[in-house]
Each structure stands twice: as structure tokens, then as C-alpha cells.
């Protein structure tokens, strides 16, 4: 009987197991079908929304391109009007973009062989701004670009393949091109409107469902937004939609294991519990319950730690300057910086701000990594801001930071720091180095770039000796000089063979292969980061990497061809830091020079006048201070040499004296040197005052 009962019990357990398994299988496959259908419907909805969003902007840009083409066709006889047309057209587009009109080579002989009028719209903290310039040149040969060639192949708007726009938008873009015809019906120019791939990336990010991937491909199959490589052997569900106007395809790629992740997890757990429950129900239920509880607690704990690290990383990133260019109202400074922590949070920092026409900046490296280093980094940044708000001498700022740092340094960490104060009016740089890598000073001499490490005194790092006497230093920066600052995460970056990047590769990266002082801080830093990534060859990053580039630029003023722009000269001159007693006479001389340009070089409307300022050294026999104030007034108007005007005879009465000549006479009386030359289809008038 026992055997029969045991066999019956076993039979019942087997039957129960089969029935339960059958029910589970039915539920499982029914659920799979429902989940797949829901995913398909959701993906189609999201794709259609993205398609409509993209079409809205592509139609907007096509409309702008056609409108600009019509404007240009009306103004083909006035090349200067093309700039105003591009500004008007780009102002109608809501997104940051660039818009250009590229003419067939030598269409306007006065503008050179390559003439491409470009306007870029940028959104900053100070509001929208439009930057207009001529970007065509032998280096930027737009005739080789696909969007330009499309203008001759298609009689309406056409979208090109993605490319890097180094001259207009300064980003990866796809461009819509539209031909411009002259009265005979011949294509004489091509309108180009850029659509940033960053915008398409943002649109695609809305498609994140079920931990999916996404991509956008052009009509030729080229990736516009690239999906990551798929894993061999892994199954995927792909949903796509075609964007009619452009021929692009947008896709959502959902890994099947992610789509049914929860269902598979539940199915395995239920099946296991049923099978084990039929064998040893009581013991297995208790054991499984304990294990599940432990795993869930551990997962929850790990998730909390991950979330806290993500929050800490976001807070740390928010503390660093992240808007570039940082000072929209300053033409004398161009700055770009970046931090790439080795972990979720790091101990590197950089910071800068302007107070009373002085740029306060610093870069530092905390010993160690992770959360402790990030806390020290946050404290250091706060100390820098608070102390430099009332103190201007770098060595005093560093000394006070050091004392505060030692008092709060419970974990015995230390910090290397370089801190500088640049006087934007004079170019004088005061600095103090606390055990940090010496910055690189790049100078321009006749368009040639030379560089040398900034001489630094080897002071101790912060956090070692509370009363250490830090030594400050100073140097002079000339206009267009660049200061490149970095942490040892750059020179000590290692590849798979544990070879370090080193100072030699850093120097080659700054002056070799086209990277020189002529390159802006953003490209200088970004290209250096690309070199480090290529050198590492996928090796794990061993230390935080931070770079900061500061360019001290020549102050310049751009005025429209409009007499009402003249009053802006006085405010600009007052901000140059020249002796106060020279402000009024120099303002008077420049007003006369600029007025002559607007009256004679630009007899009509349109055109710009550029006024630049620089300092030089006087020759033998001139004042002992040996400083020259050099002002350059340039324009692209018709050739006009004001120095050739007949000298006014001021001994005659107003009735006897001929009309004209008084303006240039006044300029000569105020300035010590006045010269004119015609350079590359531009009038260049140079005014020099010795002080």
C-alpha cells in the first residue's frame, strides 16, 4: 500500500506538474504575443511622432532656403546685400543653424574667387545672436561639397549626406541645398541650410523604450544617428518609418531579451518554484523566499549607490563652467575647458570668471579618485570663488585656500593647483603654481606659432603645510596668445602596453598637424582629447583628464554701414584701457576715419566697417615709455585712399578754402602715423599714436 500510495502520490505530482507547466506555457506564449503587439504599436506611435517633428523642421528649413534663393536672385547685382539676405533668412529659423549662399567661382571678382556669405544663429545666455561672415576661400572650397553640387543637379531643395561643417555650423550637419538662377535661367549660386545632427540626436532620444537602440539613416544608407553595434547571436525587433520629404529612415531596435526580460524572469521563477514545490514544497519555499529577499535587497542597495553616484556626478558637472564661449559680451577672451573623470565622479577641477576686467582662473588635481576626491574638488572650487571675490594677488589667494584646506583635510589628501589672474586691459598675467603641471604658453609671431612651458616656482601642493609661503609670478600676454592648462591625466594617459602619452605627444598635438595657436581653444582641447583617445586604443582610463585653454584676443569692433553706429566708438575706446586723456582725441580721429569709409567706400547701403586695436613698441628717439597704440580701420568697399586727399589750407578763410580735406587733416594732427593700403580687396587704414 505504501508503494501504491507512493506511486499514486508520484503520479499525482507528475500530473499536477504537467498541468501546471501546460498552463504556464500557455500564459507565457500568450503574454509574449501581447507584449510584442504592444511594443510594435508603441514603436509605430513614437516613430510617427519623431517623423512629424523632423518633417516640421526640414520643411521650415526648405522654406527658408527657397525664400533666401528668391531674395538672392533679386539682389545679384549687389554682393553686399547677400549678407543681409542671409541674416534675414536665418532669423526665421527657430533652431541654432547656419545658412549660406555659395556663388560659382569668380562670380563677383571684387569678392575673390570663392564667395560664400554665411550667417549663423546661436542661442546663448544673453539671448539669440546672429554671426555673419564670408567663409569662402581656397582652404574652404565649397565647390567640392555635395550640397553645392546638388544645387546644380536638382531644381528644387535636396538634402545631402552628413558631413562635418568646419566653417559654418562648426558641427556635424546635413544640409538642404537650393539653386539660385540669374535672369537667363543659369544656376549662379547654391543656397545651403544646415540641420545639426545634435538636433536629430535629441529627437531620436525620445524613442528610448524597452532599453532600445535607435538610428537614422539617409536615403543612401549612411548613418545620420548611428545605433551601437549589435551583439552576434542576439535577436532584435526592428521597427522603422520613412521620412517622406528627405528619404531618411528612422528605426527603433529593441533587443528581444530586453523586450521579454520581465516575462522571462517571471516564467523561470514560476516554473522553478512549481517544480521544486512539487518535490520539497516547504523547504524550497522558505529557501527561495530568503534568497529572493537577499537578492532584492542587494540590488536595491546597488541601485541606490548607482543613483547617488549619478546625482553626485551631475552636481559636480553643474559646478564647472559649461557654457562656451562663456562671455558673449567680451571679444578679448575665448575659453574652453573639459573634465573627463576616470570614475563616475573625480577630483579634477577648473573654474574661471571675470571681475573688474580681470579673468580669475584655476585648474587643480586632487590626490585620489572617486567620492572623497570629488568632495575635496567641490570644497576647493568654493574656496577659490569665495577668496578671489575680495583678493586679487594669486599667491595670497592660494595661501588662504591652503590654510582653509588644511583645517578641513581630515583624510590627509593634497591638491595641486595653478591659479592665475589675467588683466584683460593690459595683458598682464599674475599667477601662482602649487605643485601643478606648468601650463604651455603659445605665442603668435608673423602667423607662426611658438610655445614654451610657463616658468613656474615649485611651490608645495595645498594641504601639506598650513603656513607655507607661496611665491607669485607674472608675465605678459600679447594679443592672440593662448595659455593651455592641463592635469597629469593628459601626459600620464596609458595605452594597452602601459606606455604614457607624455609631454612630447602633447607638444606635437599643440603645434603639429594643423593644431597651432591659430586654432581656437575649443578645437585645441577637442583635438587633444581625440589624440588621447586614439593613443589609449580602448584601454581603461586610469586618471581624471582635465584641459583648459584661454586665448587673449585682439579687441575688435564691427559696425554696420550706418552713421548712427558712430556713437558705439566712444564706449569701445573707453574699454581698451588706454590713458584716459587720449580717449577723446582718439575717439575724434576714429570718428572721422569711420565716417569717411561710410561716405566714400560705401556710397550705398550694406557693408561693415571693422576697427581693431593693438599695442606695439616705438622706435628710437620716441618717448621713453616705448608704447604705440595701433588702430586699424578696414572695409570691403570700393577703393578709397583718404591719405591722397588734398591737404586743407587752414590759413584760408572758410569762404576761400576748398570743400573737403579737413577730416584727414584732423586725423593727422591727432595721430602720429597715418597710412593706407589695399589688401585682398579691402581698404586698410592704419592710425598710430605714440605714448
pLDDT at 483: 94
The single-letter DSSP state of residue 77 is T
CA–CA separation, 48 and 420 (whole Å): 53
pLDDT at 200: 74
In this prediction, residue 437 has a pLDDT band, given cuts at 50, 70 and 90, of: very high
pLDDT at 115: 92
Each residue of 612-649: pLDDT tens digit? Answer: 887 776 544 444 446 788 899 988 888 888 888 766 55
Segment 523-529 mean pLDDT:
90
pLDDT at 430: 96
- Looking at the chain, the whole-number percentage of residues with pLDDT higher than 90 is 22
Placement of cell 570700393 in the chain: 638
Segment 468-489 mean pLDDT:
91
For residue 325, say if its preceding peptide bond is cis, omega within 30 degrees of 0. yes
- Provide Rg for the chain, Cα atoms: 34
CA–CA separation, 178 and 187 (whole Å): 10
Segment 311-333 mean pLDDT:
68
Q: Give the lowest-confidence range in 419-433, 460-474, 480-494, 543-557.
A: 543-557
pLDDT at 644: 81
- pLDDT of 398 strictly over 70: yes
Segment 178-186 mean pLDDT:
92
**SS3 of 396-411:** HHHHHHHHHHHHCCCC
Higher-confidence position of 262 and 415 = 415
**Burial of 618: CB neighbours in 10 Å, binned 0-12, 13-18, 19+:** middle
- pLDDT of 177 strictly over 80: yes
pLDDT at 655: 46
3-state SS assignment for residue 70? helix
Each residue of 119-150: pLDDT tens digit? Answer: 888 776 556 788 898 988 888 888 898 889 88
> What is the model's pTM?
0.46
How far, rounded to the nearest angstrom, does the alpha carbon of residue 310 sit from its chain's CA centroid?
Answer: 23
Element (H, E) at 153: helix 146-153
pLDDT at 508: 86
Element (H, E) at 380: helix 370-388
In this prediction, residue 50 has a pLDDT band, given cuts at 50, 70 and 90, of: confident
Segment 379-395 mean pLDDT:
92
In this prediction, residue 38 has a pLDDT band, given cuts at 50, 70 and 90, of: confident
- pLDDT of 198 strictly over 70: yes
Mean pLDDT score of the chain: 80
pLDDT at 681: 86
How far, rounded to the nearest angstrom, does the alpha carbon of residue 615 sit from its chain's CA centroid?
Answer: 30
Q: Work out the angle between the directed axes of helices 502-511 and 521-536 (0-180°, nearest 10).
A: 140
Q: H helices of 229-335, where?
A: 256-259, 261-319
Question: β-pairing, 608-617 with 627-635?
Answer: antiparallel
In this prediction, residue 340 has a pLDDT band, given cuts at 50, 70 and 90, of: confident
**Burial of 270: CB neighbours in 10 Å, binned 0-12, 13-18, 19+:** middle
- pLDDT of 561 strictly over 90: no
How far, rounded to the nearest angstrom, does the alpha carbon of residue 256 sit from its chain's CA centroid?
Answer: 37
Domains of the chain, first to last: 42-259 (3.30.450.20), 320-552 (3.60.40.10), 556-690 (3.30.565.10)
Q: Percent helix, strand and coil across the chain, each rounded to 5?
A: 40, 25, 30
pLDDT at 447: 53
pLDDT at 344: 61
In this prediction, residue 406 has a pLDDT band, given cuts at 50, 70 and 90, of: confident
Amino acid at each position: 500500500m505504501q508503494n501504491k500510495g507512493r506511486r499514486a502520490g508520484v503520479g499525482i505530482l507528475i500530473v499536477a506538474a504537467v498541468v501546471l507547466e501546460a498552463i504556464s506555457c500557455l500564459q507565457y506564449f500568450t503574454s509574449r504575443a501581447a507584449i510584442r503587439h504592444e511594443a510594435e504599436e508603441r514603436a509605430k506611435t513614437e516613430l510617427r511622432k519623431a517623423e512629424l517633428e523632423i518633417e516640421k523642421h526640414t520643411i521650415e528649413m526648405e522654406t527658408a532656403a527657397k525664400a533666401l534663393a528668391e531674395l538672392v536672385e533679386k539682389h545679384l547685382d549687389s554682393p553686399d546685400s547677400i549678407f543681409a539676405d542671409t541674416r534675414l533668412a536665418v532669423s526665421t529659423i527657430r533652431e541654432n543653424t547656419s545658412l549660406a549662399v555659395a556663388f560659382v567661382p569668380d562670380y563677383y571678382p571684387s569678392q575673390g574667387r570663392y564667395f560664400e556669405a554665411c550667417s549663423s544663429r546661436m542661442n546663448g545666455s544673453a539671448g539669440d545672436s546672429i554671426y555673419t561672415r564670408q567663409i569662402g576661400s581656397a582652404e574652404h572650397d565649397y565647390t567640392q561639397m555635395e550640397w553645392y553640387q546638388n544645387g546644380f543637379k536638382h531644381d528644387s531643395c535636396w538634402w545631402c549626406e552628413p558631413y562635418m561643417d568646419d566653417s559654418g555650423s562648426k558641427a556635424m550637419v546635413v544640409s538642404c541645398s537650393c539653386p539660385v538662377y540669374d535672369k537667363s535661367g543659369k544656376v549662379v549660386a547654391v543656397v545651403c541650410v544646415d540641420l545639426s545632427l545634435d538636433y536629430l540626436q535629441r529627437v531620436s532620444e525620445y524613442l528610448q523604450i524597452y532599453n532600445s537602440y535607435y538610428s537614422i539613416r539617409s536615403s543612401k544608407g549612411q548613418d545620420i544617428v548611428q545605433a551601437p553595434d549589435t551583439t552576434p547571436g542576439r535577436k532584435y525587433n526592428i521597427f522603422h518609418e520613412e521620412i517622406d520629404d528627405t528619404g531618411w529612415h528612422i528605426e527603433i531596435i529593441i533587443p528581444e531579451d530586453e523586450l521579454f526580460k520581465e516575462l522571462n524572469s517571471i516564467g523561470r521563477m514560476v516554473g522553478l518554484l512549481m517544480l521544486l514545490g512539487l518535490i520539497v514544497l516547504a523547504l524550497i519555499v522558505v529557501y527561495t523566499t530568503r534568497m529572493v529577499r537577499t537578492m532584492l535587497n542587494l540590488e536595491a542597495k546597488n541601485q541606490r549607490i548607482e543613483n547617488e553616484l549619478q546625482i553626485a556626478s551631475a552636481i559636480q558637472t553643474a559646478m564647472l563652467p559649461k557654457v562656451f564661449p562663456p562671455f558673449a559680451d567680451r571679444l578679448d577672451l575665448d575659453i574652453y575647458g573639459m573634465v573627463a573623470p576616470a570614475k563616475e565622479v573625480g577630483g579634477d577641477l577648473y573654474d574661471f570668471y571675470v571681475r573688474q576686467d580681470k579673468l580669475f582662473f584655476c585648474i587643480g588635481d586632487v590626490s585620489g579618485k572617486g567620492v572623497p576626491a570629488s568632495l575635496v574638488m567641490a570644497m576647493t572650487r568654493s574656496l577659490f570663488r569665495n577668496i578671489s571675490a575680495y583678493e586679487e594677488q594669486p599667491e595670497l589667494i592660494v595661501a588662504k585656500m591652503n590654510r582653509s584646506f588644511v583645517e578641513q583635510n581630515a583624510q590627509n589628501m593634497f591638491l595641486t593647483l595653478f591659479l592665475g589672474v589675467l588683466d584683460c586691459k593690459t595683458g598682464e598675467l599674475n599667477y601662482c603654481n602649487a605643485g601643478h603641471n606648468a601650463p604651455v604658453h603659445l605665442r603668435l609671431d608673423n602667423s607662426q606659432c611658438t610655445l614654451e612651458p610657463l616658468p613656474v616656482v615649485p611651490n608645495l601642493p595645498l594641504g601639506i603645510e598650513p603656513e607655507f609661503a607661496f611665491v607669485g609670478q607674472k608675465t605678459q600676454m600679447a594679443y592672440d596668445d593662448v595659455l593651455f592648462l592641463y592635469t597629469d591625466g593628459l601626459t600620464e594617459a596609458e595605452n594597452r602596453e602601459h606606455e604614457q602619452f607624455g609631454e612630447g605627444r602633447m607638444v606635437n598635438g599643440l603645434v603639429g598637424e594643423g593644431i597651432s595657436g591659430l586654432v581656437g581653444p575649443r578645437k585645441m582641447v577637442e583635438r587633444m582629447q581625440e589624440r588621447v583617445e586614439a593613443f589609449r586604443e580602448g584601454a581603461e582610463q586610469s586618471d581624471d583628464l582635465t584641459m583648459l585653454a584661454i586665448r587673449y584676443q585682439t579687441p575688435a569692433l564691427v559696425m554696420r554701414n550706418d552713421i548712427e553706429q558712430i556713437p558705439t566708438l566712444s564706449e569701445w575706446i573707453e574699454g581698451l584701457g588706454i590713458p584716459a586723456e587720449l580717449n577723446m582725441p582718439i575717439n575724434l580721429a576714429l570718428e572721422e576715419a569711420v565716417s569717411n569709409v561710410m561716405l566714400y567706400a560705401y556710397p550705398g547701403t550694406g557693408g561693415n566697417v571693422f576697427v581693431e586695436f593693438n599695442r606695439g613698441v616705438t622706435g628710437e628717439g620716441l618717448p621713453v615709455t616705448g608704447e604705440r597704440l595701433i588702430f586699424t580701420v578696414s572695409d570691403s568697399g570700393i577703393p578709397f585712399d583718404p591719405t591722397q586727399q588734398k591737404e586743407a589750407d587752414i590759413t584760408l578763410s572758410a569762404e576761400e578754402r576748398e570743400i573737403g580735406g579737413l577730416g584727414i587733416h584732423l586725423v593727422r594732427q591727432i595721430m602720429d602715423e597715418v597710412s593706407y593700403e589695399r589688401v585682398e580687396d579691402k581698404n586698410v587704414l592704419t592710425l598710430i599714436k605714440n605714448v
